[in-house]
């Protein structure tokens, strides 16, 4: 029985429709298709069809880690889905703000397929129900706030008049719980330091018999005393009557009102250009209305868990704010952890590159304990790390292709990534030609270079790691210091131009180079922890994850891990977003954000 059924009784025609629905399962993925692929799930081959908008979906598939902040977002997504809707959960999750899961299964391809079969039965049996319940959670409440049409930065909770121009405020609906993410509207007009009021200035004027007051926007409203326009509420402006045409304007205080220059022509008419003078202007000069649009955290083209709050001027980005809703707080569960538990914890921190983090934990522990590992084990570990690098880059290619609407690349890269995730050494050799063919065909795609060149350019003096840095020619690859890597023939792959095309090129070249490294390493074995005695010391390690260098420092006391600090590349890359996408067109901005290959999971608050 699905809780998200539609109202109705299951008879006749509806039965036919319900069985049609059970064959047409459209799924919205939480936290995202990149996480699904990274966990080895092949969504399409299980019979589910991924869609981009929750309105088109009838299954909400929750897999992977869902933090409390993401739970709220998931509840909003669930509320946006149209009935009949169902909730399909893979793996154990604590989802308190959502209704009970309709189908639960384990987090594997087997579990997925078996869960889909159950889901089909559930749909054809209970898509329509005679009585249904509503879904309401606190996050969905809205409240009304009041804003001025001419001064969008003025926001109040009560109806009234704008303190700057006097116009009636118009109502607007906003999310009631959005305080912590509410953009500070006061900052839009930077020269609005002094709120300008007119009324006290008018007290200085003598009430001349020939003085008339008119509304700047409605010149046919004429009064003999100051006040508000009955039509729009704006404060009336003094205007000399026709008998004193040579009247000097200077004592009318117009010069003091920096922001409200009312240019009157002979008719007392204010053109629209002047009315919109206060509205913020963008660089290209086109004064479109500014809209706030959130992109994320489950946006189809962006990494799952990343929330981009963009203020769009038309379709150019005027302001942006990034949040990672997938916050991981403490690495070490107090008071201390056993080393094997710690390694497992670190492996789960970043579902997009678990092996790299596992290796990081193992190396840090071995460094603390002073354990040396054999060259053969080291090589096999490097093989595993490099295999994950290829899988991660392929996953990035699939996400990039999804965002740029490049279907064949998305399908091909996704299928190769799934194969690479668990490929044995021999299988990698078999897969090599397909990967090289993909890269070659990609580089020959006609419009790709023009689409990606000169977009997402970064300044040269920023802190970055991994492929983002190497695309700018900066080589801070951690593998340069690893003797075994260098012995296998590692050299860093670099580009010069610092744009999306360069980052794409770097990752493609890295895939080719990595294939060679794996062959030289001659084995692929996931890192296994060695036993650490009851020692007390500190250790650190650096590993070149697919996104850049990650640095772990930990302290051991009596064989237990007491503290740990992780420095991950995505934390730095988050700060690169705002300057990079400023004033860019929306499609370019999203592509630039994608090119950084962020993993919101490894960003620690």
Partner 1 sequence: MTAQTFFIGFFGVAAVWFGIVVFRTFSMVRSALALLFSQTALGAMFLSMQVEFLGVLQIMMMATEMTIMAIFMVMFMMDPGGLGKMDMTHQKRLSLAVGIVSFVAAVAVAVFIDWGPLASTAPDAAQQTVDLGLELLGRSMLIFETAGITILTSMIAAIAVAIQPLKRNDKS
Partner 2 sequence: MTTVFILISLVFGAYLVAVIEDWALTGRFRLTAPVFSALALLGRESVLPRKLDRVFFEVAPVLLLLSAVLAVAVVPLSPDLIITDLATGALFINAALVYVLVALLMAGWGPDGAYAMIGGWRFLGQLIAYAMLIVMPLTAVVMRAESMLTTEIVVSQAGLWNIVYQPVGFVLFFIAAMALAFLPPFDLPTSKGDLAGGVEAEYSGVRLAVFRLGRLVLIITLAAATVIFYLGGWQGPWLPPWAWSAIKILVVTAVMLLGGRMLPRIREAHLLSWCWIFGIPLALLNIFLVGVLVLVFP
Work out the angle between the directed axes of helices 569-581 and 586-595 (0-180°, nearest 10): 160
CA dihedral over 258, 259, 260, 264, signed as positive or negative: positive
Bridge-based pairing of strands 211-214 and 237-240 is: antiparallel
Q: Tell me, rounded to whole angstroms, the distance of Cα 495 from its chain centroid.
A: 27
Pull the structure tokens for residue 577: 């977003």
Residue closer to partner 1 by CB (options 275, 462) is: 275
User: Is residue 287 part of the contact set for partner 1 (CB under 8 A)?
Assistant: yes
In the complex, minimum distance from the CB of residue 399 to partner 2, in angstroms, rounded to a whole number: 9
User: Is residue 224 part of the contact set for partner 1 (CB under 8 A)?
Assistant: no
By CB under 8 A, how many residues form the interface with partner 1?
25
Residue 570 CB neighbour total at 10 angstroms: 26
Give SS3 for 319.
Answer: strand
The Cα 469–Cα 201 span in angstroms is 58
Residue 492 CB neighbour total at 10 angstroms: 16
User: Is residue 279 part of the contact set for partner 1 (CB under 8 A)?
Assistant: yes
Residue closer to partner 2 by CB (options 78, 572) is: 78
User: Is residue 269 part of the contact set for partner 1 (CB under 8 A)?
Assistant: yes
Cis peptide before 555 (omega within 30 of 0): no
User: Is residue 135 part of the contact set for partner 2 (CB under 8 A)?
Assistant: no
Residue 224 CB neighbour total at 10 angstroms: 13
User: Is residue 271 part of the contact set for partner 2 (CB under 8 A)?
Assistant: no
User: Is residue 252 part of the contact set for partner 2 (CB under 8 A)?
Assistant: no
Query: 14: Cβ–Cβ under 8 A, 6 or more apart, which residues?
Result: 8, 127, 128
The Cα 509–Cα 511 span in angstroms is 5
User: Is residue 163 part of the contact set for partner 1 (CB under 8 A)?
Assistant: no
User: Is residue 584 part of the contact set for partner 2 (CB under 8 A)?
Assistant: no
Give SS3 for 569.
Answer: helix
The Cα 95–Cα 74 span in angstroms is 9
Instruction: Pick from 23, 56, 231, 251 the residue near partner 1 by CB under 8 A.
Output: 231
The Cα 392–Cα 55 span in angstroms is 30
User: Is residue 285 part of the contact set for partner 1 (CB under 8 A)?
Assistant: yes
Strands (E) in 485-568, as ranges, are 538-545, 548-557, 560-567
Residue closer to partner 2 by CB (options 450, 605) is: 450
Task: Say which entry of partner 2, partner 1, none residue 187 contacts (CB below 5 to 8 A, set by partner kind).
Answer: none
Residues 435-494 that bind partner 1 (CB under 8 A): 454
In the complex, minimum distance from the CB of residue 272 to partner 1, in angstroms, rounded to a whole number: 5
Give SS3 for 555.
Answer: strand
Task: Say which entry of partner 2, partner 1, none residue 408 contacts (CB below 5 to 8 A, set by partner kind).
Answer: partner 2
Window contacting partner 2 (CB under 8 A); options: 247-255, 258-266, 365-373, 396-404:
396-404
The Cα 602–Cα 605 span in angstroms is 10
The Cα 161–Cα 233 span in angstroms is 7
The Cα 127–Cα 407 span in angstroms is 32
By CB under 8 A, how many residues form the interface with partner 2?
51
Closest CA to 527 of 420, 373, 419: 373
Residue 60: its H or E element: strand 59-62
User: Is residue 273 part of the contact set for partner 1 (CB under 8 A)?
Assistant: yes
User: Is residue 24 part of the contact set for partner 2 (CB under 8 A)?
Assistant: yes
Residues 494-553 that bind partner 1 (CB under 8 A): none
Instruction: Pick from 131, 184, 450, 605 the residue near partner 2 by CB under 8 A.
Output: 450
Residues 274-333 that bind partner 2 (CB under 8 A): 291-293, 299-301, 312, 314-315
Q: Are 380 and 524 in contact (CB under 8 A)?
A: yes
**Residue appearing with tokens 């409605």:** 218
User: Is residue 288 part of the contact set for partner 1 (CB under 8 A)?
Assistant: yes
Helices (H), 24-150: 33-38, 68-80, 109-126
Window contacting partner 1 (CB under 8 A); options: 3-11, 63-71, 105-113, 276-284:
276-284
In the complex, minimum distance from the CB of residue 36 to partner 1, in angstroms, rounded to a whole number: 36
Cis peptide before 297 (omega within 30 of 0): yes
Binding mask 25-64 for partner 2 (x = CB under 8 A): -------------------x----x-xxx-xx-x------
Q: Are 391 and 549 in contact (CB under 8 A)?
A: no
User: Is residue 223 part of the contact set for partner 1 (CB under 8 A)?
Assistant: no
Helices (H), 493-549: 500-521
In the complex, minimum distance from the CB of residue 371 to partner 1, in angstroms, rounded to a whole number: 53
Q: Are 499 and 457 in contact (CB under 8 A)?
A: yes
Residues 330-349 that bind partner 1 (CB under 8 A): none
Task: Say which entry of partner 2, partner 1, none residue 446 contacts (CB below 5 to 8 A, set by partner kind).
Answer: partner 2
Residue closer to partner 1 by CB (options 12, 285) is: 285
User: Is residue 132 part of the contact set for partner 2 (CB under 8 A)?
Assistant: no
Instruction: Pick from 141, 197, 261, 445 the residue near partner 2 by CB under 8 A.
Output: 445
User: Is residue 275 part of the contact set for partner 1 (CB under 8 A)?
Assistant: yes
User: Is residue 585 part of the contact set for partner 2 (CB under 8 A)?
Assistant: yes
Binding residues for partner 2, rule: CB under 8 A, are 6, 14, 16-18, 20-21, 23-24, 44, 49, 51-53, 55-56, 58, 82-84, 127, 173, 291-293, 299-301, 312, 314-315, 401-408, 411, 445-448, 450-451, 585-588, 590
Binding residues for partner 1, rule: CB under 8 A, are 149-150, 168, 170-172, 218-220, 231-232, 267, 269, 272-273, 275-276, 279, 284-289, 454
């Amino acid at each position: 029985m699905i809780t998200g059924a539609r109202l109705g009784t299951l008879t006749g025609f509806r039965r036919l429709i319900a069985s049609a629905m059970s064959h047409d399962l459209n799924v919205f993925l939480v936290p995202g298709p990149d996480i699904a692929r990274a966990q080895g799930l092949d969504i399409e081959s299980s019979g589910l069809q991924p869609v981009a908008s929750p309105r088109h979906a009838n299954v909400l598939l929750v897999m992977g880690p869902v933090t409390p902040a993401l739970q709220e977002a998931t509840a909003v997504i669930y509320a946006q889905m149209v009935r009949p809707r169902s909730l399909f959960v893979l793996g154990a999750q604590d989802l308190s703000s959502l209704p009970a899961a309709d189908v639960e299964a384990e987090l594997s391809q087997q579990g997925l397929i078996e869960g889909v079969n159950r889901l089909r039965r559930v749909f054809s049996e209970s898509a329509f129900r005679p009585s249904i319940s509503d879904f309401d959670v606190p996050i969905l409440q809205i409240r009304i706030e009041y804003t001025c049409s001419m001064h969008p930065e003025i926001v109040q909770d009560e109806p009234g008049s704008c303190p700057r121009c006097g116009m009636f405020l118009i109502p607007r609906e906003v999310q009631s719980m959005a305080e912590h993410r509410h953009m500070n509207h006061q900052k839009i007009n930077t020269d609005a330091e002094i709120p300008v009021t007119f009324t006290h200035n008018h007290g200085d004027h003598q009430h001349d018999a020939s003085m008339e007051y008119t509304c700047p926007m409605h010149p046919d409203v004429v009064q003999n005393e100051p006040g508000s326009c009955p039509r729009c509420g704006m404060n009336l402006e003094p205007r000399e009557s026709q008998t004193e045409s040579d009247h000097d304007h200077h004592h009318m205080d117009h010069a003091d009102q920096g922001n409200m220059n009312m240019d009157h022509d002979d008719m007392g008419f204010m053109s629209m250009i002047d009315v919109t003078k206060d509205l913020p202007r963008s660089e290209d000069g086109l004064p479109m209305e500014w809209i706030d649009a959130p992109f994320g955290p489950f946006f189809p083209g962006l990494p799952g868990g990343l929330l981009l709050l963009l203020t769009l001027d038309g379709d150019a980005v005027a302001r942006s704010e990034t949040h990672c809703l997938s916050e991981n707080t403490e690495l070490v569960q107090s008071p201390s952890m056993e080393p094997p538990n710690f390694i497992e914890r670190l492996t789960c921190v970043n579902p997009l590159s678990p092996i790299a983090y596992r290796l990081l934990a193992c190396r840090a522990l071995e460094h603390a304990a002073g354990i040396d590992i054999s060259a053969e084990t080291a090589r096999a570990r490097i093989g595993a790390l490099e295999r994950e690098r290829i899988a991660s880059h392929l996953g990035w290619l699939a996400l990039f292709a999804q965002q740029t609407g490049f279907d064949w690349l998305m399908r091909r890269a996704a299928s190769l990534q799934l194969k690479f995730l668990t490929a044995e050494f021999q299988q990698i050799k078999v897969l090599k030609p397909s990967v090289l063919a993909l890269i070659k065909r990609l580089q020959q795609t006609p419009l790709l270079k023009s689409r990606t060149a000169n977009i997402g350019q970064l300044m040269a003096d920023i802190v970055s790691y991994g492929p983002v840095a190497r695309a700018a020619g900066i080589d801070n690859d951690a593998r340069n210091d690893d003797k075994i890597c260098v012995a296998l023939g590692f050299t860093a792959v670099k580009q010069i131009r610092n744009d999306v095309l360069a980052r794409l090129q770097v990752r493609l070249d890295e895939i080719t180079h990595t294939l060679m490294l794996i062959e030289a390493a001659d084995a692929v074995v996931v890192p296994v922890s060695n036993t650490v005695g009851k020692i007390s010391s500190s250790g650190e390690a650096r590993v070149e994850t697919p996104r850049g260098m990650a640095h772990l420092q930990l302290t051991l006391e009596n064989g237990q891990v007491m503290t740990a600090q992780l420095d991950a590349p995505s934390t730095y890359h988050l700060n690169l977003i705002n300057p990079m996408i400023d004033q860019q067109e929306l499609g370019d901005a999203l592509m630039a954000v994608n090119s950084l290959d962020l993993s919101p999971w490894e960003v620690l608050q």
